Amino acid sequence: MAPPRTLMPSIQELTAFEAAGRHGSFTRAAGELALTQSAVSKQVRELEATLGVVLFERTKGRAVLTLAGRDFLPAASRLLQDYATATHAVMASAGSGTTLRLGVLPTFAARWLVPRLPGFLSRQPGVTVSLVTAPEPFDLASRSVDAAIHFGEPSWPQAECVYLCDEAVIAVASPAYAERHGLTDPGSLARATLLQQASRPGLWRDWFARAGVEHPHPLRGPLFDQFAMTSEAAKAEMGVALLPWFLVERELSDGSLTIIPAPPLAGAGAYYVVVPVGRRSEPTLAAFVDWLVAEAAASARRRA
């Protein structure tokens, strides 16, 4: 059971505490918040009185967090961030009929979803879409999102997973690099630099096995921790990259990257749109899911 609202800290108290805890100084917190040092100190004392604990050890010129203060600081930071996000969301919607809040995989959103969103919004003129980064499964209710894009297995607590597409991994290089090194088949990649993906260290090894080719050093090459960076490195003629097809649709279309002929490697999962149980039939959410499924199917047809 939550404590009475009269015993809950105010936003002003939390803001003063978070700034002072982050800076380790009431003076620096005051400068950030455009308050006096005494005002920040007063807000922190009132917070300590509300909570019944000491949050800072006051030393000359410094404000050192106590154990209780260190424990409370991350929670206070999250509360203030959630408050700021929710406030901005209300302001951003500007009275529009519906706001659709989506938890998205950053690369999938930037490279595949966002370029297509204008098509959905043109059909739903009263809808505002808000995107938040969500690289791993999370509690949909606690993050206050209406749906999420997920890669992996169709398993998410208290949610329905609607299939979008498989992941087809292909080898790509800039046309100039491919021509210069004579890259016409998987075997020819022995002459190329292999761009490595930090999040999937065995990807090249699996790709060569799928192609039936043995490479002497499939784990050797420049290392990148984001697919987007690997794509840019391939365009800059640093080597050959293994990338999901959806991520380089645009580059394949405009000719800045070309495919090294070989069977695609299936990813270790598929893409799904995840909707909380019982909400699949809500009109706006249903329209969005149906639109996503249709766009993914059209994308797969172009790939084929």
Structural domains in the chain, CATH included, are 5-92 (1.10.10.10), 97-304 (3.40.190.290)
In contact, 270 and 155? CB cutoff 8 Å: no
The pLDDT assigned to 92 comes to 53
CA distance 73 to 22: 8
Q: What is the pLDDT of residue 272?
A: 93
Distance CA 44, CA 114 (A): 42
pLDDT at residue 251, rounded to an integer: 93
CB neighbour burial string for 53-91, b if at least 16 within 10 angstroms, e if fewer: eebbeeeeeebebeeebeebbeebeeebeeeeeeeeeee
Rounded Cα distance between 181 and 208, Å, is 18
What is the distance, to the nearest Å, from the Cα of residue 294 to the centroid of all Cα atoms in its chain? 23
Taking CA atoms, 152 is separated from 52, 105, 155, 274, in Å, by: 45, 12, 8, 12
Residue 258, C-beta contacts closer than 8 angstroms, at least 6 positions apart: 172, 173, 174, 175, 178, 252
Strand pairing partners for 259? 172
Which residues on adjacent β-strands are paired with residue 103?
132, 148
Query: Is the distance from CB of 20 to CB of 40 less than 8 angstroms?
Result: yes
β-partners of residue 159 are 276
Q: Within 10 Å of residue 290's Cβ, how many Cβ atoms?
A: 11
- Residue 195, classed as helix, strand or coil, is strand
pLDDT, position 2: 46
100: how many CB neighbours lie within 10 A of its CB? 19
- Neighbouring C-alpha atoms within 13 Å toward the C-beta of 107: 18
Residue type, 70: R
Please, which residues have CB within 8 angstroms of residue 32's CB and are 6 or more apart in sequence? Answer: 19, 23
- No. of helices (H) and no. of strands (E), the chain: 11, 11
pLDDT at residue 61, rounded to an integer: 67
pLDDT at residue 1 in the model: 44
**Residue 149, φ and ψ in degrees, nearest 5:** -100, 130
How would you write the pLDDT of the chain (304 residues) with one tens digit per residue?
Answer: 445 555 678 889 999 999 999 998 899 999 998 889 999 999 999 999 988 999 999 877 678 999 999 999 988 888 887 777 666 555 554 544 578 889 888 888 888 999 999 999 999 888 888 888 876 676 776 667 899 988 888 888 888 999 998 888 999 999 999 999 999 999 999 999 999 998 888 999 999 999 999 998 999 999 998 888 999 999 999 999 999 988 898 899 999 999 999 988 987 788 999 998 888 889 999 999 999 999 999 888 877 6
